[in-house]
């Protein structure tokens, strides 16, 4: 008899284990396929079409012109106020060479995303002024300029007002007045050039060239690679560039850089720092050369310096007080003065492309079509849904425990509500003698019976045993269900915190150039292991909720279902980030 019972229990246990394993396999396969479907059908690839550099020396010299060099003139600064749209006035600083003869060339500075004040570019602008070039640095309006919203058309109009002020300044030759733009400012400069035909030259430094999301896909991949992130992380983060940012007003991610490149008909100087991983330092230069050539402009000079994105002598994006790259200002001044002296495409004694040898790691993709998740808003909702639903399920379970505790002590009245209760069992305790046969065929003494959750009847001893479960939120469930559900909730919270913490750490390491490849590799494997644990717990909960579906009713049943939905949302998030991929 005992042997038969053991065999029966063994068969039941094996069947349950196999059911759980089958459910886990199905969950893993479903989310693996979902992760593949969410992957956009493009990727950032290593860049191989490297540019040919003719000389390691970035110096620039016109072939037949005697031009002033840096330090030839003392300089003076004048603070101005420039009126732009809507009657707004912006501060600006004008720097001029003292006692420079004749009408002078002039240069307007256009800010990138990291600068906005009139005091910015001071070292570059003053160095150029000392070589006989009048410079004007206006402030950039920061109102309505955020991480999410940037109006490049408005900026172009405002810088156009500043250009008019510079052209009308005494001692400036309007026919020799051009622009200097850095980074994001080069997009503004191309819009400005498309609206005005009187720009004598353009200096484009650290130019993104491509559309916002194309350039950012390349930059994110390069940043992550530099930080030592595993290959799946490098690949997966590029997915973010394929999403629709419209709900967050990130329309500038789709700024049509191609449309405005055709406006570059004036002489161009293109500068990149060889340590700049944020920009397409080779692909961008080649694209500018091709766009200018298609517009009939052959006067394009390209220079590479030992410097970062800000053309400073270092690699970090936000390291303060770094000196400018060696020879940078001298090259700027010689090129501007050479253009002012009439240098054409063949009027240079130095090569068209020169400087330190660049090495662009990733190519900017030509298209960024998304997978089945095409909106950043949808992704954000899914990522938030997992932990939020888990908390709702726990709160609901705790609330039901409190209700049961109050019922036990009669705080909610002596009558226990419920539909279809057997006649005579409408009080928490019956003290009548005799027995009662419940729905399962078990006989109970009336005086020990209690009504719990509708028409289910339990002895007081059984009811207390059910409430002895140490997991507070699920004490009124069978222990075989309560434990896995609580474990699933803990797993959801732990893996969510670790995933977002991991991605944040990789992002910080990428921005500040602090590579930790070993640490990030271990972290990724830990996340993969936790994903396996989450799937197993998910399978256990699904199997036991189904097996005990008749014993879990009302709010507790709803709490269990909510926890399952939380697990589904969390698994979808993990699938998006590639944690179900092999």
CATH number of the domain within which 110 lies? 3.40.50.1820
pLDDT at 543 over 80: yes
**Do 490 and 395 sit in the same domain of this protein?**
yes
The closest alpha carbon to 35, from 236, 241, 238, belongs to: 236
**Do 517 and 556 sit in the same domain of this protein?**
yes
pLDDT at 12 over 50: yes
**Do 496 and 350 sit in the same domain of this protein?**
no
pLDDT tens across 292-339, in order? 999 999 999 999 999 998 899 876 555 677 899 999 999 999 999 999
Does residue 488 contact residue 499 with C-beta atoms inside 8 Å? no
Q: Summarize the confidence of residues 42-49 as an average pLDDT.
A: 83
In a domain, 221, yes or no: no
In a domain, 332, yes or no: yes
Buried b (16+ CB within 10 A) or exposed e, 367-381: ebebbebeebeebee
pLDDT above 90 covers a percentage of the chain that reads: 49
Q: Does the pTM of the predicted model rise above 0.85? A: no
Residue 195: the pLDDT is 94
**Do 22 and 79 sit in the same domain of this protein?**
no
Q: Summarize the confidence of residues 371-391 as an average pLDDT.
A: 87
pLDDT at 457 over 70: no
Put residue 316 in one of left, alpha, beta given phi > 0 → left and psi -120 to 50 → alpha.
beta
Higher pLDDT, 41 or 258: 258
**Do 131 and 91 sit in the same domain of this protein?**
yes
* Number of neighbours of residue 316 by Cβ within 10 angstroms: 16
Residue 75: the pLDDT is 97
Residue 408: the pLDDT is 58
Residue 277: the pLDDT is 84
The closest alpha carbon to 485, from 574, 398, 407, belongs to: 398
Of 79-83, 190-194, 316-320, 331-335, least confident by mean pLDDT is: 316-320
Q: 300, 321, 355 — which closes off a domain? A: 355
CA atoms within 13 A on the CB side of 128: 31
**Do 471 and 430 sit in the same domain of this protein?**
yes
How far, CA to CA in Å, does 99 sit from each of 76, 367, 576?
10, 53, 64
The closest alpha carbon to 187, from 256, 140, 237, belongs to: 256
**Do 24 and 123 sit in the same domain of this protein?**
no
Q: Summarize the confidence of residues 428-443 as an average pLDDT.
A: 46
pLDDT at 556 over 80: no
- Rounded Cα distance, 489 and 562, in Å: 11
Q: Which residue range(s) make up the domain with 338?
A: 75-211+256-355
Which residues, at least 6 apart from 248, have a Cβ–Cβ distance to it below 8 Å?
Answer: 148, 376, 377
Higher pLDDT, 234 or 155: 155
Q: How many domains does the chain have?
A: 2
Does residue 289 contact residue 302 with C-beta atoms inside 8 Å? yes
Residue 414: the pLDDT is 40
pLDDT band at 523 (very low <50, low <70, confident <90, very high): very high
**Cα torsion at 256, 260, 261, 265 (round to 10°)?**
180
Residue 188: the pLDDT is 94
pLDDT above 70 covers a percentage of the chain that reads: 81
Q: Note the helical H segments in 349-417.
A: 376-408
Of 61-65, 84-88, 195-199, 532-536, least confident by mean pLDDT is: 84-88
Ranges assigned E (strand) in 146-213: 172-182, 202-205
pLDDT tens across 122-171, in order? 999 999 999 999 999 999 988 877 766 788 999 999 999 999 999 999 99
Does residue 439 contact residue 431 with C-beta atoms inside 8 Å? no
In a domain, 227, yes or no: no
- Rounded Cα distance, 371 and 34, in Å: 10
CA atoms within 13 A on the CB side of 333: 26
Residue 15: the pLDDT is 86
Residue 402: the pLDDT is 74
CA atoms within 13 A on the CB side of 397: 28
Residue 259: the pLDDT is 86
- Rounded Cα distance, 297 and 300, in Å: 7
The closest alpha carbon to 32, from 532, 406, 557, 394, belongs to: 532
Higher pLDDT, 353 or 222: 353
In a domain, 472, yes or no: yes
**Do 420 and 556 sit in the same domain of this protein?**
yes
Residue 447: the pLDDT is 44
* Number of neighbours of residue 225 by Cβ within 10 angstroms: 20
- Rounded Cα distance, 374 and 365, in Å: 17
**Do 427 and 525 sit in the same domain of this protein?**
yes
How far, CA to CA in Å, does 440 sit from each of 208, 286, 551, 553?
73, 80, 11, 16
The tokens for 329 are: 């200002």
In a domain, 183, yes or no: yes
- Rounded Cα distance, 59 and 338, in Å: 12
Does residue 302 contact residue 270 with C-beta atoms inside 8 Å? yes
Of 229-233, 424-428, 563-567, least confident by mean pLDDT is: 424-428
Average pLDDT, the chain: 82
pLDDT band at 246 (very low <50, low <70, confident <90, very high): low
How far, CA to CA in Å, does 424 sit from each of 449, 451, 452, 455?
11, 11, 14, 12
In a domain, 90, yes or no: yes
- Coil, strand, or helix at residue 97? strand
Residue 453: the pLDDT is 39
pLDDT at 484 over 90: no
The closest alpha carbon to 499, from 574, 568, 572, 576, belongs to: 574
**Do 475 and 532 sit in the same domain of this protein?**
yes
Q: Note the helical H segments in 409-430.
A: none
**Do 282 and 429 sit in the same domain of this protein?**
no
- Exposed/middle/buried for residue 210 (C-beta within 10 Å: 0-12, 13-18, 19+): buried
pLDDT at 236 over 70: yes
pLDDT band at 444 (very low <50, low <70, confident <90, very high): very low
pLDDT band at 268 (very low <50, low <70, confident <90, very high): very high
Which residues, at least 6 apart from 140, have a Cβ–Cβ distance to it below 8 Å?
Answer: 90, 111, 115, 116, 117, 155, 158
pLDDT at 281 over 90: yes
Q: 301, 325, 355 — which closes off a domain? A: 355
The tokens for 137 are: 């640095």
**Cα torsion at 519, 520, 523, 528 (round to 10°)?**
-140
Residue 420: the pLDDT is 38
**Do 349 and 461 sit in the same domain of this protein?**
no
pLDDT at 287 over 70: yes
pLDDT at 496 over 70: yes
In a domain, 495, yes or no: yes
Higher pLDDT, 60 or 440: 60
**Cα torsion at 530, 531, 536, 538 (round to 10°)?**
110
In a domain, 237, yes or no: no
The closest alpha carbon to 100, from 176, 164, 159, belongs to: 176
């Amino acid at each position: 008899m005992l042997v038969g019972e053991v065999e029966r229990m063994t068969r039941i246990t094996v069947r349950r284990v196999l059911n759980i394993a089958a459910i886990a396999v199905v969950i893993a396969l479903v989310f693996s396929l979902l992760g593949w479907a969410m992957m956009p059908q493009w990727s950032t690839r290593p860049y191989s079409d490297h540019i040919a550099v003719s000389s390691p020396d970035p110096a620039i010299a016109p072939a037949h012109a005697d031009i002033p060099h840096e330090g030839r003139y003392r300089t003076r600064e004048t603070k101005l106020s420039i009126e732009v749209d809507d009657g707004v006035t912006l501060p600006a600083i004008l720097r001029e060479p003292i006692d420079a003869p004749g009408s002078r060339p002039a240069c307007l500075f256009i800010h990138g995303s990291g600068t906005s004040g009139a005091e910015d570019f001071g070292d570059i602008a003053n160095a150029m002024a000392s070589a006989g070039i009048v410079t004007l640095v206006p402030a950039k309006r920061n109102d309505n300029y955020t991480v999410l919203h940037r109006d490049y058309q408005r900026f172009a109009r405002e810088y156009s007002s500043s250009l008019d002020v510079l052209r009308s300044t005494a001692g400036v030759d309007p026919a020799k007045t051009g622009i200097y733009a850095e980074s994001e400012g080069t997009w503004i400069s191309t819009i400005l050039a498309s609206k005005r035909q009187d720009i004598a030259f353009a200096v484009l430094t650290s130019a993104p060239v491509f559309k916002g999301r194309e350039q950012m896909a390349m930059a994110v991949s390069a940043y992550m690679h530099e930080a030592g992130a595993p290959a799946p992380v490098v690949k997966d983060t590029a997915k973010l560039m394929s999403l629709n940012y419209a709900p967050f007003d990130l329309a500038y991610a789709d700024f049509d850089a191609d449309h405005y490149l055709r406006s570059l008909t004036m002489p161009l100087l293109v500068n990149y720092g060889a340590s700049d991983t944020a920009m397409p330092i080779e692909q961008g230069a080649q694209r500018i050369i091709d766009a200018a050539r298609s517009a009939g402009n052959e006067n394009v000079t390209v220079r590479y310096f030992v410097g970062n994105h800000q053309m400073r002598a270092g690699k970090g994006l936000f390291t303060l007080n770094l000196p400018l790259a060696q020879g940078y200002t001298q090259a700027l001044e010689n090129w501007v003065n050479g253009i002012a002296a009439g240098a054409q495409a063949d009027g240079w004694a130095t090569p068209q492309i020169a400087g330190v040898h660049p090495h662009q790691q990733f190519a900017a993709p030509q298209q960024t079509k998304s997978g089945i998740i095409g909106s950043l808003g949808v992704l954000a909702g899914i990522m938030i849904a997992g932990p939020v639903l888990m908390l709702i399920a726990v709160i609901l379970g705790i609330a039901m425990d409190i209700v049961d505790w109050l019922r036990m002590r009669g705080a909610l009245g002596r009558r226990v509500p419920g539909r279809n209760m057997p006649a005579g069992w409408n009080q928490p305790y019956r003290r009548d003698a005799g027995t009662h046969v419940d729905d399962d065929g078990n006989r109970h003494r009336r005086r020990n019976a209690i009504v719990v959750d509708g028409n289910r009847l339990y002895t007081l001893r059984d009811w207390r045993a059910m409430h002895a479960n140490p997991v507070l939120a699920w004490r009124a469930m069978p222990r075989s269900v309560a434990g896995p559900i609580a474990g699933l909730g803990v797993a959801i919270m732990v893996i969510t915190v670790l995933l977002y913490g991991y991605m944040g750490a990789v992002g910080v390491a990428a921005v500040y150039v602090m590579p930790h490849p070993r640490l990030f590799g271990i972290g990724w494997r830990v996340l993969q292991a936790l994903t396996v644990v989450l799937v197993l717990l998910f399978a256990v909960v699904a199997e036991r909720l189904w097996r005990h579906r008749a014993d879990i009713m009302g709010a507790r049943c709803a709490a269990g279902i909510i926890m399952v939905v939380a697990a589904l949302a969390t698994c979808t998030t993990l699938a998006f980030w590639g944690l179900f991929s092999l």
